[in-house]
Amino acid sequence: MEKLPGAAERFRGKTVLITGATGFIAKLVVEKILRLQPEVKRLYLLVRAADQVSAKQRVRSEIFQPLRDKYQTHFNFWFWDKVFPLAGDVSLTNLGIGDARLAEDVRKETYIIVHMAATVNFAERYDTALEVNTMGVKHMIEFASKCTNLELVLLVSTAYVNIIMEKGIIMEKPLQQWRSFDGRFNLDLSEEMAFKEAKLKELVSRNASKHNIRNTMKKIGAERAIDTWISNYGKGQLKFFPTDVTTVIDVVPADIVVNAMLSIISYHPQGTTDFIYQIGSSVTNPLKIGKMGDLTYKYFSEKPFVGAKGEAVRVKQPNFLAAMSSFYEIMDKHYKVPLQDMLRRGLSTAEDHHIYNHLKREYDFTVAVAEVYWSFTIPKMRYDDSKMQNLMAMMTERDRELIPCNTRVINWNKYFMETHIPGVMDYESRELTRARI
């Protein structure tokens, strides 16, 4: 077997195109590559922006500024010497790069493409999800096919696109081409795009409001196709959730995801195509949802979330329901029936209206979240990562230290109590502060 040079050498003198560059994982990838190999030739960062000036402003505020605050010394010149922002949009042909000469330069120079541009909203509008997550991949592949020095394309996606059964081990292999989840073989992208356009025209012709258009397209997406739970449970807004406590879930820290991506780029055998690596924990280091719930309850019992008015939110033990039918029954008992009783009695005071509206919002929110996430928390499938384990066995000892990506070593108690939940709630606090300003 050919001896591979290792992670740092893999990027030396190479140009890398990264899509979705201002996303959470992508920003970590940019930082890690710059730290791992300062002699990388260039990082093209594709961001959604109207022009090159706007693209640079986005990269400056969302990537450069946080890294400069972190590293400080001489960072300004070094960063901009390596990083080149690209204004574009993966939902458009040619990745939306309007300057033909610039697009040609990118195609000539790029050796590695890391495609991460995607909407990660589980309740996304159908038209948006189709344009970005489906057509975006098509446009990226078309662009990559014209790159004259291309060595590797790494497409990053959630493993949950591959829910092909409700239990068992899902192997690292591609889905059957052109087959949809309902078993049909006649999946046609042009047909889907035409359907989207026709539906939008129909809604506009009926003078539908923007709100109705948004909700309709979300509903279509749901029909055709854990951090939310943690943060809203901590804020006291999510008291019930449909899931089987014995279900094993895949949780992978962001730094391990990034390290695994760099390991794949560095150690994937040259010349092999259509290869899938699953980065998971459910087989090598199983974590049950019940255990996660216990850790979350423990965390918020010790460190309650503080609301906008300075009040500490006291949580109760999570109430998990093993079936959607059980979930709907308890929602009727705790929300729907009381709400109906209040309407029958009449809302005679401002306090009555306040209580009713609060209960109604909580009911609507809980049902909406449950209906989006239940299909990911009820099934008992696990994701095999044998290929990823084999790839890790090829890594040098130094790379195992520089880019560790073994999920076997994760201590779930320590990770959730000291890293994951504090990180989720720190984000919530920043958003709350921003809303107050």
In a domain, 116, yes or no: yes
pLDDT of res. 52: 94
200 shares its domain with 132:
no
In a domain, 14, yes or no: yes
pLDDT of res. 422: 92
- In the chain, the percentage of residues whose pLDDT exceeds 70 is 81
pLDDT of res. 312: 92
Domain boundary, last residue among 176, 202, 225? 225
The total domain count for the chain is 2
In a domain, 316, yes or no: no
79 shares its domain with 207:
no
194 shares its domain with 77:
no
In a domain, 311, yes or no: no
pLDDT at 272 over 70: yes
21 shares its domain with 140:
yes
With the CA atoms of 140, 143, 144 and 145 taken in that order, what torsion angle do they form, in degrees rounded to the nearest 10? 130
What is d(CA 274, CA 279) in angstroms, rounded to the nearest whole number?
Answer: 16
In a domain, 295, yes or no: no
98 shares its domain with 194:
no
Average pLDDT, the chain: 84
Closest C-alpha to 26, from 63, 67, 54, 56: 63
pLDDT of res. 218: 44
In a domain, 97, yes or no: yes
In a domain, 181, yes or no: no
210 shares its domain with 139:
no
pLDDT grade for 372, boundaries at 50, 70 and 90: confident
pLDDT grade for 153, boundaries at 50, 70 and 90: very high
pLDDT of res. 118: 87
How confident is the model over 157-206, as pLDDT tens digits?
A: 887 766 655 678 888 887 665 455 455 545 554 545 444 455 555 555 55
Q: What's the pTM?
A: 0.82
User: Taking the alpha carbons of 156, 159, 163, 168 in that order, is the dihedral positive or negative?
Assistant: positive
101 shares its domain with 213:
no
10 shares its domain with 120:
yes
Question: Residue 200: which domain range?
Answer: 188-225
197 shares its domain with 102:
no
130 shares its domain with 26:
yes
Top pLDDT among 244 and 187 is at 244
In a domain, 150, yes or no: yes
**Residue 71: CATH number of its domain:** 3.40.50.720
How confident is the model over 207-217, as pLDDT tens digits?
A: 666 655 455 44
Q: Which two tokens stand for residue 189?
A: 């992208």
pLDDT at 6 over 50: yes
The answer to whether 49 and 79 are in contact (CB under 8 A) is no
